[in-house]
Amino acid sequence: MPFSFNVILASRLVPARFRDGGNLEKHGPDKSNSATQTKEAELTARLARFARVPVSNVFELDPTWRSDGLSEEMATEILNTHGLNIPVGERPLAALAILWTALWNPFNVLLTILALINIATNSVPTFVVMIAMVVASTSLRYWQEMKSMVQALKLVKSIVTRVRVIRRVDSISQEIEIDLRNVVPGDIVAVTSGDVFPGDCIVISAEALSVTQASLTGEVLPIDKVVRVTALDESEPFHLLENHNVCLAGTSVAAGNGRAVVVSTGKDTYMAAIAEELNRKRPENCHPVGYQESQLHPFGFHGVSKDWKGAVMFAIAVAVGITPEMLPMIVTSNLALSAVRIARQKVIVKRFDAIQNMGAVSVLCSDKTGTLTADLVRVAKSVNTKGELSDLPVNLSFINSLLQTGSRSPIDRAILDYVGQAEKGSFGDVQLDGWSKLGEVPFDSTRRMLSVLTYHPSVNKGEALFITKGAVEEVLERCVSGLKDEEFLKPIRDIRFDSSSSSTLTEVNRLEILNSAKRLNEDGLRLIAVACRKTSVKIGTTISTEDEDDLVFVGFVALLDPLKPDAAEAIQNLGNLHVQVRILTGDAPAVAAKVARDLGLFDPVNTRRLTDARSPKDEEAVSDVSSEHVDESSLIVTGPQLAELAKDHELLNETIERAVIFAKLSPYQKLDVVKALRRGGGGRAVAFLGDGVNDALAIRGADVGISVDSGTEIAKEAADVILLEKSLDVVARGVVEGRLTLLNTVKYIKMACSSNFGNVFSVLVASAWLPYQPMLPLQLLTQNLLYDFSQGSIPWDNVDPEYLERPKTWSAWSIVRFMVCLGPFSSPFDLITFAINWFHYKIRSADSPLVPLAQTNWFLEGSLTQLFIIQFLRTHKIPFFQSRASLPVVVVTFGMACVAMAIPYIPKVNSALQLTPPEPMFYTYLVGMILGYAITIHIVKSIYLWVFRGEWL
């Protein structure tokens, strides 16, 4: 039976935190985490200094800044101090240093030493194989390191090159256009719709300014930005991404215009800090491929022979013959085959070892927008003041959105699409060509509403309809009455919208309206309020904000980002695979909670599911809680809440372990949550799915970083896996494929290690007992190659379905247990072969002419027992009956067995290997030993399964 002495486990195949067997080891101190938190704190403190004070005091905080702009001389001086406004410094990539790091690792050193020993003993083929492995390992690591170094440079391409700033030219303040790289702290930038902020800025003037910052927060809708009029109290917390007068580099203006003073540029911006973090060395994930430790020392044979020189030469001879060259081939073949299979599932794998990592994943952190939801704002329903369905509010808002002349927001487009695509007859009185606009009061972020004065030929001459839509509180404040219930059934042209069709709003009525809005908000719906009134008009009539008064409150238009059709099914599929899904988003808690509620993430079974449950009793315990009430509020945590818990690490970790929804998170907080989840549960594999710049840090910090083909370039560069279809169902299929790959690799390692361990005893006994070599090095190499070819089919093998149901991680103790418990049972049958040679054939001296026969007998016994026993070790079930190997495994295994039996009879081949045809009687012994070994292994397997509670792979 083939055996090897230099690999059982490998530290890069078995990471440090997974080497302690059943209970996984916790991560050590995370030094990078404290550095990340410090960097974010510095950025926040710098911006808070300017954002907390009133706009009138901003320029007093820096003596070089002026409200009418910097002079050219001062701008040049500041530019020399702070450098060009380039987010990622164009510095050398230190290619030689990275190459040295990739080359200098224990695995390469060990292989190089063994290669030199082999070349010294004229074993050129083995030397070539080992050096090739060193080159391959070094090249792969060098490529990975270089790739991570250039990831951050992708940010530069996403930023505009020209910006408008206010500068004093010849002592005259004027607006000029300059190169983005020349923007400096203290510059006042003028922005309008479509512009990108060139640095981290503080708003000093705003006219209906709204900013899209989805790349940082995941928020679908633009955020209104305003100037700060009064100082923020020092006791109030400062949240960078939720502050309404801070605009970060890389975010863009969705609507309106304004001015902002630049506080930070280049490497000091928030976006650049993310790039810098991406530029750090990638943290080791749960299954990096490589080999470093747990070598079985070949010099151990000297303990029997007492001859150091002989032991050294014998160890080298064994190493030449049984070098486990198939281990990297098995791993690579497994990963390559899986990459091809998984590509058919619309999944592109950038790093091969990520496939195995997916099999170990027990927690999937997913962004909400675009993954669970459609990433489109849609009208969910239109309701009256009591929350009852009515088309009137959306009809009126349609007219408002259709006729307003400003840039249409996502809400406007959603309303137009909803009414335009509806097949209901209730929209018949909203004619696209029937209404005309007489006036408009544009939206601004202070009023938070937009009004239009409209006219339709079907209404009385001289009358017009004043329609307002906007934020609930602001619109309700301008209303004096509410529309009566019976009016909601009439067409718009038949409603008077005056005292005859409405009733005065009392404080109780206002409270009821706000309560209705609160209930809708708690359902994750975004609301706009709709109000209107009839008014008389004359030629040349104009309207202003003063006309937004004495309105009749009509109702709400509720909007949401709808769930993807397959999202619920995908969540269920992942749950069946014992993968917990947790939502990490920059969106509002209520919106994320609505999504989680609709997907069943708050169900007791999901929240209590133990992804590492090991027995049916654990499943029963989980099912017992299915009827328990779940306090949803305890499962939701926000970014500000996490920031307040930062000093209490124990409470912070406990909160993260419990939470299902993480809302209003900054990019750094997403990374912190991923790190905490990886440390939790004794160390677990965590995947992160996202597509924005705000997700890049978490993608890179996870065991498996997943992005999508439509994601930002920086997110795709940071990812290990790219989905061509943004769906959790695709992830579920990838998890199954990862487990299949991992289990087939574990299957090979356990079989190889148990064989190696058992043959150590056989070789020790042979060294002490037999006066001749039980097998020549060339015979060992041939036997090993036959075994290697047979195991080369393992990547195509089947895996019992029950092993695909749960996450699988590397367990050193599991491999050791398997090796120690099953390995030694091959030795008795080797000893029987030695005994047959000694007692039956009387081969008792090194000069006996029958020594080649003895070596042939062990060659055949070792080859056939090991080849056939693959069928028994690949599954915990009864082979051929309860579990069948794949056709390639069966064909290759029995084919190699036929080759092994034919070799002693093939002329020239047998003489080259010094083998001779065995006596026919030996085949009787051989059949008996194969059957006896199979029965013994099955008995031992049954005991092993009973002792270790069903554990096999």
Which two structure tokens, joined as six digits, stand for 684?
Answer: 């677990």
How far, in Å, CA of 404 to CA of 400, rounded? Answer: 6
- Residue 373 is given by DSSP the state B
Please give the single-letter amino acid code of residue 533.
Answer: R
CA distance 461 to 373: 47
Active-site position among 268, 367, 598, 695 = 367
Q: How many CA atoms lie within 13 A of 149 on its CB side?
A: 15
For residues 685 and 362, is the Cβ–Cβ distance under 8 A?
Answer: yes
| Strand partners for 454 | 437, 465
Reading the block at residue 694, the tokens are: 């705000």
**Cβ atoms 197, 191 nearer than 8 A:** yes
DSSP state at residue 837: I
DSSP string for residues in 716-774: HHH-SEEESS--HHHHHHHHHHHHHHHHHHHHHHHHHHHHHHHHHHHHHHHHHH-SS-S
Query: What does the DSSP 8-state code read for residue 408?
Result: P
**874-906 burial string, b = 16+ CB within 10 Å, else e?**
bbbbebeeebebbeebbebbeebbebbeebbee
Q: Locate 17 and state its tokens.
A: 């935190």
Beta strands 246-247 and 200-212, pairing class: antiparallel
Q: By the 8 A CB rule, do 200 and 103 touch?
A: no
Contact yes or no for 619/610 (Cβ under 8 A): no
Enumerate the β-bridge partners of residue 528. Answer: 557
* Residue 893 neighbours by CB under 8 Å, 6+ apart: 790, 793, 867, 868, 870, 871, 885
Residues whose CB falls within 8 Å of the CB of residue 620, separated by 6 or more in sequence, listed in order: none
The answer to whether the beta carbons of residues 808 and 360 sit under 8 Å apart is yes
Render 266-280 in DSSP notation, one character per residue.
GGGSHHHHHHHHHTS
Q: Which residues contact 841 (CB under 8 A, 6 or more apart)?
A: 850, 853, 854, 857
User: In the annotation, is 494 catalytic?
Assistant: no
How far is the C-alpha of 282 from the C-alpha of 267, rounded, in Å? 20
Which residues are bridge partners to 381 per DSSP?
Answer: 558
Q: Which of 799, 771, 811, 788 is nearest to 885 (CA)?
A: 799
Contact 247, 212 (CB under 8 A): no
> How many whole angstroms separate alpha carbon 430 and alpha carbon 286?
59
How far is residue 82 from each of residues 50, 73, 196, 451, 945, measured CA to CA in Å? 18, 14, 21, 46, 66
Integer-rounded Cα radius of gyration of the chain: 36
Which residue do the tokens 């995908």 mark?
570
**What sign has the CA pseudo-torsion 800, 802, 804, 808?**
negative
Residues with a catalytic annotation lie at 367
